Amino acid sequence: MVFVASELTVPTAVKIVIAGGFGTGKTTMVASVSEIPPLRTEELLTEAGVHVDDLAGIEGKDTTTVALDFGRITINTKVVLYLFGTPGQNRFWFMWDELATGAIGAVVLVDTRRLDSSFPSIDFFEHRGIPFIVAVNCFDGSQNYTVDEVRHALDLDEAIPVVLCDARNRESSKAVLVGLIQHSMNRLAAV
Amino acid sequence: MSARDDWWYDEAAGPLVRPYAMVRGRTRPNAPDLHLVTQVRAAAFASDQTSLTVEHREIMALCARPLSVAEVAAYLDVPLVVVKVLLSDLIERGDVLVQTSSPKIPDRDLLQAVLDGVRGI
Ligand SMILES: Nc1nc2c(ncn2[C@@H]2O[C@H](COP(=O)(O)OP(=O)(O)OP(=O)(O)O)[C@@H](O)[C@H]2O)c(=O)[nH]1
Ligand SMILES: [Mg+2]
């Protein structure tokens, strides 16, 4: 059998971060668009929230684990997209940095009943200049606000798209991802 | 979660005993940069696998197709830090291939491909 070199190349991996406060529907959104049931993996961090990247002498250290949910969309044979839900606990900023590095951008999910729970996510992406859009997850009948009201309440820049969605719905979640990718493309064109 | 909790938070022995034992406390001095989405895959011609552990062989089987480091960790059900050590062993042996580059912000063509792909699912 003859193997050509190209058969052994690996695809380019890209990622999108699905962020937002506790219980805003992050895992639900990952599940609704992923081609595989969401996977879960654990990262080991010190209590200070820094990566443990060395297992030597680890027994003596105070460590903790942080769980990551993620899904996958195979774009074509050369490109694969991963969707990472952020860990609920905000203290693991170090993990957020790894998730955000090189990402296409982020979807910040918002539950209008608890808007403030998504403030830290918005701050994070704003400060790091990472493209993001805000998706208002419409939990049954709880959507009592317009997009403009949400934009105002979150004190969002005009340039940040705000969309309504149902994280359980595949087409709705797809539309959110499309909105984010377009926003990232616009940002790229603007610089 | 319960099966995992069994070994991960082993009350008697303390946490981390199993993953620690699996990699015998080794470091990764010359290891390539492995990120969450770094793609790995088994080489077409793997070397003699008799000296490999069960976990190493499981990785070889998983990586018959390209996978991310995060996927390998999830399927193997071990923490990322452990899978990175195991993968480094295999990379060093030439049994696993990896594209080592830190995650870059996608350019316009790549974004367009992703956009078309997502629309098409
Ligand atoms: N009615 C309704 N329920 C939803 C929607 N999205 C998520 N849920 C439910 O809300 C709960 C929380 O959703 P998750 O997807 O687990 O939220 P999460 O952001 O991953 O939560 P954490 O990881 O714990 O922060 C689950 O019980 C979901 O079934 C939605 O659009 N409408
Ligand atoms: Mg979740």
pLDDT one-digit tens code per residue, A28-38: 999 999 999 99
CB distance A182 to B115 below 8 Å: yes
**Is B75 a residue whose pLDDT tops 80?**
yes
- Across residues A119-140, what is the average pLDDT? 93
Q: Is the CB of A179 under 6 A from ligand 1?
A: no
**Is A1 a residue whose pLDDT tops 80?**
no
Size of interface A-B (CB pairs under 8 A): 157
Measure CB to CB from residue B114 to each of A9, A65, A79 and give the nearest one: A79
Average pLDDT, rounded, for chain B: 79
Residue numbers of the domain that contains A47: 17-190
Domain ranges of chain B: 3-120
Q: Is the CB of A25 under 6 A from ligand 1?
A: yes
Which long-range contacts link B50-57 to residues 24+ away (Cβ below 8 Å)? B53/B22, B53/B86, B55/B22, B55/B86, B56/B86, B56/B89, B56/B90
pLDDT confidence bin for B6, thresholds 50/70/90: very low
Report the run of H or E that residue B87 belongs to, with start and end: helix B80-93
Domain membership of residue A166 (yes or no) is yes
ipTM of the complex: 0.88
- Across residues A161-165, what is the average pLDDT? 96
Measure CB to CB from residue B121 to each of A73, A99, A189 and give the nearest one: A73
Domain membership of residue A183 (yes or no) is yes
- Residue B50 Cα, gap to closest chain A Cα (Å): 23
Find the helix packing angle between A26-33 and A170-190, rounded to 10°: 100
CATH number at residue A63: 3.40.50.300
Query: Which atom of ligand 1 is the closest one to the Cα of A139?
Result: 32
Pick from A145-149, A150-154, B47-51 the range whose average pLDDT is largest. A150-154
Domain membership of residue A37 (yes or no) is yes
Which pLDDT value is given to residue A49?
58
Domain membership of residue A97 (yes or no) is yes
Domain membership of residue A10 (yes or no) is no
Is the CB of A55 less than 8 angstroms away from the CB of B81? Answer: yes
- Tell me, in angstroms, the distance from the centre of ligand 1 to residue A27's CA: 7
Which pLDDT value is given to residue A191?
73
